[in-house]
Amino acid sequence: MSLAVRTALIGVLATLLMDLWGVLREPLFGFPRANYRLIGRWFAHMPRGRFRHASIAASPSRPGEHTIGWLAHYSIGILFAALLVWCGGAAWLRRPRPGLAMSIGLATLAAPLLLMQPAMGAGIAASRTAKPWAARTQSAITHAIYGLGLYLAAWTLSRLAPLAG
């Protein structure tokens, strides 16, 4: 298995675990699932030069925004997995440890809190939302679960398809 395929699988599997958490957290804790349609809307406005919105929900919808959102979500998951692989290298892929994966997972929290939420009108760290601390807490838990997913995916692949060399 090539390094690129291994990295993509780690990213997809970790993102999938994060999405499973998103499905479970609504009935368990009453927190709604992430709306990737709005992320797709944000990305779909970018080619027209619009990167910031007072409210992404109030911005005009764009064709294919739901699909764009899901593709962006999984692409970002793969890119962050590539960061993990770059940081850990082949030695980490051969013997994955949770510390680095969890650190990367939590570091990815900077993307929504400092980039995406402000650009979509929610303010820095969801400061303009109705319940900022609930949003921050859910984001932190979700990204920690992504980090756990990075570790579990890498560990599983290291057992099923050991890295040569």
pLDDT block averages, 10 residues each, the chain of length 165: 95 98 90 91 96 96 97 98 97 97 97 96 96 94 97 97 85
Predicted local confidence at residue 32, as pLDDT:
84
Q: Report pLDDT for 2.
A: 92
Model's pTM, two decimal places?
A: 0.94
pLDDT at position 140: 95
- C-alpha angle 15/21/24, rounded to 5°? 150
- pLDDT score of 96: 98
Write down the pLDDT at residue 52.
Answer: 96
Look at the alpha carbons of 151, 155, 156, 157 in this order and tell me if their dihedral is positive or negative: positive
Q: Contact 56/121 with Cβ under 8 angstroms?
A: yes
Q: What gap in Å lies between CA 142 and CA 140, rounded to an integer?
A: 5
Supply the pLDDT for residue 20: 96
Could you state, in order of their start, the residue ranges of all structural domains in the chain?
Answer: 3-160
Q: How many CB atoms lie within 10 A of CB 105?
A: 25
Contact residues for 153 (Cβ-Cβ < 8 A; gap 6+): 9, 10, 11, 13, 14, 17, 81
